[in-house]
């Protein structure tokens, strides 16, 4: 991981990380980034801020670095290369979807396939950066509520870093994620409820567990930094150019907030120019608080009652960072779309049939959203559209019911 600290400019070595402080996007307060921090005293998530000015690193320098997300280390919070905890995450393929694009009337359709990451979802990015930074500032144990995939990712990275982990997930979360947590030695509990119930259990337990950091979605600032690298990679993989539209399955919102943050940082650095992509937040119609808020022009969402969808990762009735998601949608001229479970399950099969990609239901929801947005005219046939498939379909084997004949060895095929 210790690739050269490029000093492309003025003889001053560029530090491994240019992390400066943590800033509050709501009240503007500054917080020390080298202390363990949760949310701001005003209740808002905190965002990592960097000394972008002195960065003397160019896309050319980055091109020669190893193909993982640490290639952007100046824009990540880990201060020492030796503190990076890695399983090789990042630089997932950005692949063309020509047959599906033809069917949807969006010929320039691309998919960034996060299913190839360790633990099979994009959650590995947030876990790699979050765990590395937590360990670097002295945290020895982490605690989190999860819809499954984040817990699995944080459990394995915690194991690799030698940290203890306490995980609570809904009983309805993908079953494989339990096995991943258990195999990695996490202290795991299921709750007969949703992610908010898991969060309340964690919050109530922590006062009795000194030394554990609450790493719930957006309650620590560095998971977002890992997810930001999706935005950096999309630009780099397009030759430091931005697509017209980025479509993202939105639950807690960390991914879309992170991508937006990456776009702003790249623009400030001069790595990209021109219009930002229009960002699209996709939710399921059984849990669509952001979509409802966006439709009403609201700045934050209302809790969604009786949330349910097969796209389990986006079952988040009320996100702490809802106002940041909505800001990103309004600022980029984006939109928010809800799709039905039947649509996304049909599109999960369509993507596999036409393109050979077995994607997760959350990713499939994005293709259903593209279909709707093209039908409504919001997307045109000339838009270049990047869909984030946030995980592999292999984590959700039950979403494709299989009813095939069982033969005796002596039977004859038709
Ligand atoms: C596969 C998958 N996609 C999307 C999401 C939503 O993530 P975010 O918090 O970035 O909105 C999750 C969260 O659990 C997930 O597991
Ligand atoms: Zn604040």
144-194 pLDDT, tens digit each: 999 999 999 999 999 999 999 999 999 999 999 999 999 999 999 999 999
DSSP string covering 261-299, please?
HHHHHHHHHTSS-SPPPEEEEEEETTB-HHHHHHHTT-S
Q: Is the pTM of this model over 0.75?
A: yes
SS3 60: helix
Please give the order of strands across the beta sheet that includes 187-191: 187-191, 164-170, 141-145, 212-214
Q: Is the CB of 313 under 6 A from ligand 1?
A: yes
For ligand 1, atom 15, the nearest C-alpha belongs to: 313
In angstroms, the CA 383 to CA 217 distance is 32
CA distance 359 to 211: 38
Is the shortest distance between the CB of 177 and ligand 1 below 6 Å? no
| Inter-residue contact 245 to 280 (CB < 8 Å) | yes
Evaluate if residue 9 carries a pLDDT over 70. Answer: no
Q: pLDDT tens-digit profile of 111-126?
A: 999 999 999 999 999 9
Tell me the pLDDT of the chain averaged across its residues. 95
What distance in angstroms lies between residue 390's CA and the mean position of ligand 1's atoms?
A: 7
Contact 294, 335 (CB under 8 A): yes
In a mutational test of the pocket of ligand 1, which residue from 115, 121, 367 has the highest number of ligand atoms less than 8 Å from its CB? 121
User: CA 119 from chain center: how many Å?
Assistant: 13
Number of H helices, E strands in the chain: 12, 13
User: How far is ligand 2, taken at its centre, from the CA of residue 44, in Å?
Assistant: 5
Q: How far is the CA of 297 from the centre of ligand 2 (A)?
A: 23
CA-nearest residue for atom 5, ligand 1, is: 313
pLDDT in tens, 335-365: 999 999 999 999 999 999 999 999 999 999 9
The response to whether residue 254 sits with its C-beta less than 6 Å from ligand 1 reads yes
Residue whose CB lies within 8 A of the most ligand 1 atoms, among 113, 216, 252, for a mutation test? 252
Nearest residue CA, atom 13 of ligand 1?
313
Q: Alpha-carbon distance 176 to 173, whole Å? A: 9
pLDDT of 12 reads: 63
Å from CA of 315 to ligand 1 middle: 9
* pLDDT tens profile 206-216: 999 999 999 99
| Distance of CA 12 from the midpoint of ligand 2 (Å) | 34
- pLDDT for residue 53: 80
Q: Is the pLDDT of residue 8 over 80?
A: no
Is 253 close to ligand 1, i.e. is its CB under 6 Å away?
A: yes
> What is the dihedral sign for C-alpha 174, 175, 176, 179?
positive
pLDDT tens digits, residue range 33-90? Answer: 999 999 999 999 999 999 988 777 899 999 999 999 999 999 999 999 999 999 999 9
Q: Is the pLDDT of residue 367 over 90?
A: yes
């Amino acid at each position: 991981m210790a690739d050269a600290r490029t000093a492309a400019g003025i003889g001053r070595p560029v530090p491994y990380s240019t992390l400066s402080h943590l800033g509050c996007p709501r009240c503007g307060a500054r917080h020390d980034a080298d202390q363990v921090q949760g949310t701001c005293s005003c209740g808002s998530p905190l965002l990592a801020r960097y000394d972008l000015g002195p960065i003397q690193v160019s896309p050319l320098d980055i091109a020669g670095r190893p193909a993982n997300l640490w290639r952007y280390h100046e824009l990540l919070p880990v201060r020492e290369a030796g503190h990076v905890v890695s399983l090789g995450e990042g630089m997932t393929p950005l692949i063309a979807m020509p047959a599906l694009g033809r069917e949807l009337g969006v010929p320039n359709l691309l998919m960034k396939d996060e299913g190839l990451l360790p633990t099979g979802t994009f959650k590995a990015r947030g876990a790699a950066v979050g765990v590395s930074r937590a360990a670097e500032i002295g945290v020895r144990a982490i605690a989190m509520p999860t819809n499954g995939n984040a817990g699995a990712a944080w459990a394995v990275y915690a194991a690799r870093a030698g940290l203890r982990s306490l995980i609570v997930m809904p009983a309805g979360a993908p079953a494989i994620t339990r096995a991943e947590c258990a195999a990695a030695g996490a202290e795991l509990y299921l709750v007969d409820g949703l992610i908010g119930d898991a969060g309340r259990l964690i919050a109530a337990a922590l006062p009795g567990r000194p030394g554990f950091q609450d790493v719930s979605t957006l309650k620590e600032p560095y998971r977002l930094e890992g997810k930001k690298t999706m935005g950096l990679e999309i630009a780099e993989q397009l030759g430091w150019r931005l697509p017209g539209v980025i479509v993202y399955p939105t639950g807690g919102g960390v991914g879309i907030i992170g991508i937006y943050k990456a776009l702003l940082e790249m623009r400030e650095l001069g790595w990209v120019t021109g219009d930002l992509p229009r960002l699209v937040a996709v939710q399921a119609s059984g849990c669509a608080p952001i979509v409802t808020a966006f439709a009403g022009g609201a700045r934050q969402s209302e809790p969604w009652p009786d949330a349910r969808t097969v796209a389990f990762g986006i079952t988040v009735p009320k996100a702490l960072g809802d106002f940041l998601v909505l800001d990103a949608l309004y600022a980029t001229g984006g939109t928010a779309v809800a799709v039905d479970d039947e649509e996304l399950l049909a599109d999960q099969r369509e993507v596999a049939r036409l393109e050979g990609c077995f994607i997760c239901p959350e990713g499939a929801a994005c293709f259903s959203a593209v279909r709707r947005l093209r039908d409504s005219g919001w997307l045109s046939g000339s838009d270049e559209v990047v869909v984030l498939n946030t995980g592999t379909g292999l984590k959700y084997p039950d979403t494709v019911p299989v009813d095939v004949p069982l033969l005796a060895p002596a039977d004859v095929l038709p």
